[in-house]
Amino acid sequence: MDSHNDKPTGKPVEDHVQPSRRRFVGTVAAGIAGGATLAPALASAQSGTQAVNSPRPLTPPDYPKPPFQRQKQEWPGLASKMTPRPDHGETTYKGSGRLTGRRALITGGDSGMGRAAAIAYAREGADVAINYLPAEEPDAREVADLIRQAGRKAVLIPGDIRDENFCKKLVADAARQLGGLDILVSNAARQQSLESILDLTTAEMDQHFKTNLYAMFWIVKAAVPLMPRGSSIIVTASVQAYDPSPNLLAYASTKAAQVAFTKALAKQLGEKGIRVNAVAPGPIWTPLQVTGGQTQEGLEKFGSDSPLKRPGQPGELAGAYVNLASAESTYTTGQVYGVTGGAGFP
């Protein structure tokens, strides 16, 4: 199931080291602001490899800007069929062993931010299981190849997370095949553009809440008993939780609920040593947009109203997911990190 949508010099940070708050803030700022574009300066693509001192480019990446061509795919869509194709960090993200030995489950890991996180996690040394809908198998196989090229284990678990029983099985299968579970990224989502509440059916509202909220609840509930101290749960929320678009009433409602879920759960799990945070993307170029998440008119100008005058690429959020999962964030829980290109909140 599709996600929202990709893509410093010095010694690598070992997973057990706890840096100062000043170092953490600087690291998060660099990871979130630069994403995969700053990551190449971290180290070589092989996880755990010594960092390389190399010049860091000052010019921003030349990512696509609107106008975009009109295009439409049947939901859930494939990133491989989008024009332009999203950048999930396939050729740019470099790892430095920050998640060596970790075991991650990512829903919506075939495309969008889920794919970007999967690639980054593998290159940081983690084994990764991804969930997706069977229709997304071509994209999922590409991700699996990239995980294996990084020398890590890839586990593919297709299935529909709108089913509670499948969610329970998903977590159990992922933990069994990975040998445990200490990172969970709840990322898969549904987004449909509807101009009026009069056009929003009960069935469509149900699909949004089943995919975006209930599935997250079911998966987290199954995962928590399996997760040791030091584990991390990361929710992909959205700027829509804070600055909702009128045509995304159902989607924005689920995202606002996810933010409250994240903050409340963080308080519950604090004593267990499990951290819970969220990433709130702005307009990101993913299959959500071409499968009904935007109108065709909206697709043409997608991202143009952000200060950067373009949508983000999934790989630009990879650094946020890595930082929140790593030991550099051991005092960070109940937080929502906005990666919005300057638009909206938080």
Sign, Cα dihedral of 327, 320, 132, 244: positive
Helix (H, G, I), strand (E, B) or coil at 7: coil
Structure tokens given for 202: 């009960």
**Residues whose CB falls within 8 Å of the CB of residue 187, separated by 6 or more in sequence, listed in order:** 3, 4, 106, 107, 108, 109, 112, 113, 114, 117, 235, 236
Question: Contact, 211 vs 190, CB < 8 A?
Answer: yes
Neighbours of 149 (CB within 10 A): 14
Alpha-carbon gap, residue 41 to 63, rounded angstroms: 19
Structure tokens given for 148: 């294996």
**Residues whose CB falls within 8 Å of the CB of residue 282, separated by 6 or more in sequence, listed in order:** 239, 306, 311, 312, 338, 339, 340, 341, 342, 343, 344
Alpha-carbon gap, residue 184 to 325, rounded angstroms: 9
Radius of gyration of the chain, Cα coordinates, nearest whole angstrom: 18
Annotated catalytic residue 251: yes
Which is the catalytic residue, given 132, 242, 251, 321?
A: 251
Helix (H, G, I), strand (E, B) or coil at 278: strand
Q: How far is CA 153 from CA 138, 147, 248, in A?
A: 18, 7, 37
What is the per-residue DSSP string for 178-216? HTS--EEEE--------S-GGG--HHHHHHHHIIIIIHH
As annotated, the active-site residues are: 251
